Structure 1
């Protein structure tokens, strides 16, 4: 099962479960998480969703072998929701979303934090947005959400440099809520999740709606801009060279 789901005390924990691929997102995992968010949104017994990863990674981003197949294989079959469907589900998710970054997060493993209401990070975890190293554009409205969250210069470094940042740097930049020791991450994230889950769901949803609604149009516009840039750059020379290097020399990889 590529996504495990557990309910306890009105908290639904969704665990990305492709540890052998560092929880990289293929079409099946994009679909599974999108479906899980849609189901949690509709479930009156779920107050909070807690998202984490199995093994040593939170998520290594988009599976680069699938990205290359999307460009080169005319028979490639996209998922029901895919990346864009997951981003729509994240943007519309009406309840608190908490991320517990247990290990490395690349690409969507970092940009998903723009949708988190609270994010906790292991002190040994690292984050990276490798878009410029792959010759592509940002994703998931990160070009809008991350400057809002971190400030323009912090976001510019993260999105432009393709360099790793540590948990302490992520905290200083305002990308995450707290840094935890690895063996305390799950319990600390769950403790906060259960505090929120003890409150009336209608009130939680009202607070989130009031916070998110003023930026909803700008977020959607950012997604459209990024998608246009991504379509223009995907398969272009810089991207093709980068994908060939990653998938050919490294036996596959992730954004």
Structure 2
């Protein structure tokens, strides 16, 4: 019997969803993409849920895509994707029309950062760290982050986040406008739930209308950005840079991109 991948609790019309693959630092494999997508779809339809609060169990918010499974996907032509997969999760996040609050604990890599583009309020523990490791993995951005991050934090901040693959501290994330509040670790969940409960005390119909109106001007650009990114990811995944990055991960070393073919 497979272990549950999420913990779900309801209080004050707030549904708290906790990613629960702590041994894998809540890295997203196909099963977790499916589980979170289903949870968001269910919360969207549940009339008793006004707000969703998303956090991670254990030492991490999310370590991003499961690199072991990424390697298997590249190596195995018969790899079976999930029912929703990564694209299904991003569709669910983009369509989610109730407030989404994040409480970022520990590490947030890849989707553990780019999910911020779809959130309405973001809380972050002061000892947490974020990064998008796309260039260190030899791949392209994801989740419309090439559009949403420049809009959220400005072009140069977004360029550093997306191009450098460097860690971003909680203080830096707050200064950039990437997160709304920075909290002591012990206060993270109480503070995030308190704000979520304030939102949840308002009429769901009004919350939905405000969110729809705020998101409406972005939808076409999000779709176009995702198409560009998905095309770039497909072209780069399994290429020389990505192969070196995955080999380095498997061997426990830093990748060396200095001897790639010209242009890579």
TM-score bucket (shorter structure): over 0.9
In the alignment, which of 67, 74, 83 is matched to residue 71 of structure 1? 74
CA-to-partner distance for each residue in 1:186-232, whole Å, 9 max, x for gaps?
00000000000000000000000000001100001101100000000
In the alignment, which of 134, 154, 157 is matched to residue 154 of structure 1? 157
Q: Helix, strand or coil for the counterpart of 1:76?
A: coil
Q: Does 1:111 align with 2:114?
A: yes
Q: Does 1:39 align with 2:14?
A: no
Q: Does 1:163 align with 2:166?
A: yes
Matches within 5 A, 1:1-255: 1-249=4-252
TM-score by length of 1: 0.97
Question: RCO higher in 1 or 2 (8 Å CA, sep ≥ 6)?
Answer: 1
- Give the C-alpha shift of residue 76 in structure 1: 1.1
CA-to-partner distance for each residue in 1:51-107, whole Å, 9 max, x for gaps?
000011000000001111111112211000000000000000000000000111000
Measure the CA separation in 2 of the matches of 1:95 and 1:148. Answer: 21
Structure (1 or 2) with the larger CA radius of gyration: 2
Measure the CA separation in 1 of the matches of 2:73 and 2:88. Answer: 16
Measure the CA separation in 1 of the matches of 2:99 and 2:249. Answer: 36
Q: Please report the RMSD computed on the Cα atoms of aligned residues, expressed in angstroms.
A: 0.7
Q: Helix, strand or coil for the counterpart of 1:176?
A: coil
Query: More deviation in 122-131 or 239-248?
Result: 239-248
- What are the ranges of 5 or more consecutive residues in structure 2 without an aligned counterpart? 254-264
CA-to-partner distance for each residue in 1:135-184, whole Å, 9 max, x for gaps?
00000000001111001100000000000010000000010000000000
Structure 1 runs (4+) deviating above 4 angstroms are none
Measure the CA separation in 1 of the matches of 2:238 and 2:32. Answer: 23
Measure the CA separation in 2 of the matches of 1:217 and 1:247. Answer: 38
- Give the C-alpha shift of residue 9 in structure 1: 1.1
Measure the CA separation in 2 of the matches of 1:55 and 1:249. Answer: 23
Measure the CA separation in 2 of the matches of 1:204 and 1:116. Answer: 14
- What are the ranges of 5 or more consecutive residues in structure 1 without an aligned counterpart? 251-255
